[in-house]
Every structure is written in C-alpha cells, then in structure tokens.
C-alpha cells in the first residue's frame, strides 16, 4: 500500500496533494465516477507517481537537497523531500503553501496516469515524434510541429500548468 504524505515542506512528503483533497477535487470533476471506482491504493499510488513525475521536470536533485536546477526558485527548506513549496510560496493568509498550479498539475497528472484524463490533442504527436514524423498533411490541410520541451510522460494540459515553473533550456550549437 502506498502512503500519501502531504505536509508542505515536510522531510517525508510523498505527494503535493493529500488523498482527501484529491478525492474532493475529483468529486467536482467530470471524472468523479471513474475516480471513485478506483481503489484507494491505486489513487494513492497515482498521486505519488504524479508528484515524482512533476519533480523530474526540474531535473535531478542537487545532492541531499530537494533543489532542482530546472525549476525557478529554491525549496522552502533544505530538509524538505519535494521541490515545492519554494521560498516565498504562500497562500492568501501568508502561510507556506504548495502553489495552486502545482497542486492542480499533480491532480491532473494523477488522473492522466490512471487513464481518466486524456490528452486534449486529437493527434498523437508524441507517438509520431517518437517515429521521427514532424508533419502530417491530409486532404490539403497539414500540421507541422517543432520539438517541445514537454516531457513525454507529462499530460499536455498538465504541462500548461507546469511550464511557467520550469526554466527553459537553450540549446546552442558550437561550430
């Protein structure tokens, strides 16, 4: 059984969102029946995996700290297990908090993991990119895409929430 621990900036946190909050959020979403049909162990595991996948977007950990060079800012404390909350992340009352966009990203990614939420992109761009395809044309209409910095394991709608927190990597070519 996976245990979800969510005490922002805690040394043993495993998720950006607690199971109770996730159940509440899902109950107000179009996925309420499907989420309720999944066991608590699977829901917990999806939240933990979603959190790990979000943290991976910031690159590897910096030593024993939760700091990740690919995210803007610094973790709130040296001893916290997850990157967020960052120094200065507070709620309306001025209390330390996980940024709402990160919380929502975790919830959406957990649903994405369980297959409850599908990518909004009607074309499987990731699958085609993996095969080396960079454009598609059909009956006079076409689509062309460049590489994206969105990791393949992150849902499209989740990336929209995470991207502002990720430092853009600029690639240069030396000639």
- Give yes or no for residue 141 having a pLDDT over 60: yes
According to the model, what pLDDT value does residue 127 have?
Answer: 67
Domain total of the chain: 1
- Give yes or no for residue 34 having a pLDDT over 80: no
For the chain, what's the residue count? Answer: 175
| 153 assigned to some structural domain | no
Query: SS3 string of 48-111?
Result: HHHHHHHHHCCCCECCCCCCECCECCCECCCCCCCCCCECCCECCCCCECCCHHHHHHHHHHHH
According to the model, what pLDDT value does residue 91 have?
Answer: 95
Cα–Cα dist 66/75, whole Å: 7
According to the model, what pLDDT value does residue 125 have?
Answer: 65
Cα–Cα dist 113/154, whole Å: 9
- Give yes or no for residue 59 having a pLDDT over 60: yes
Query: The dihedral of CA 84, 21, 159, 94: what is its sign?
Result: negative
Q: What is the DSSP letter of 61?
A: B
| 142 assigned to some structural domain | no
- Give yes or no for residue 40 having a pLDDT over 90: yes
Domain extent at residue 99: 19-121+158-165
Average pLDDT of the segment spanning 153-166: 89
- Give yes or no for residue 76 having a pLDDT over 90: yes
According to the model, what pLDDT value does residue 172 have?
Answer: 46
| 42 assigned to some structural domain | yes
| 96 assigned to some structural domain | yes
| 79 assigned to some structural domain | yes
| 83 assigned to some structural domain | yes
Of the listed ranges 87-91, 100-104, 106-110, 171-175, the least confidently predicted one is 171-175
According to the model, what pLDDT value does residue 79 have?
Answer: 92
| 59 assigned to some structural domain | yes
Cα–Cα dist 76/63, whole Å: 16
| 82 assigned to some structural domain | yes
CB–CB of 41/108 below 8 Å? no
């Amino acid at each position: 059984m996976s245990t979800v621990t969510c005490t922002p900036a805690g040394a043993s946190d495993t998720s950006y969102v607690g199971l109770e909050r996730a159940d509440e959020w899902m109950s107000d979403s179009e996925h309420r029946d499907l989420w309720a049909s999944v066991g608590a162990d699977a829901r917990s595991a999806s939240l933990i995996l979603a959190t790990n996948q979000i943290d991976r977007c910031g690159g590897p950990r910096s030593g024993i700290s939760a700091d990740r060079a690919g995210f803007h800012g610094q973790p709130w404390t040296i001893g916290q297990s997850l990157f967020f909350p960052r120094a200065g992340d507070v709620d309306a009352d001025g209390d330390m908090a996980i940024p709402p966009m990160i919380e929502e990203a975790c919830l959406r990614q957990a649903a994405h993991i369980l297959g409850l939420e599908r990518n909004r992109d009607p074309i499987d761009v990731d699958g085609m990119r993996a095969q080396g395809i960079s454009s598609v044309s059909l009956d006079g209409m076409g689509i062309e895409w460049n590489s994206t910095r969105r990791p393949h394991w992150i849902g499209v709608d989740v990336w929209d929430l995470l991207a502002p927190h990720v430092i853009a990597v600029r690639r240069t070519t030396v000639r």
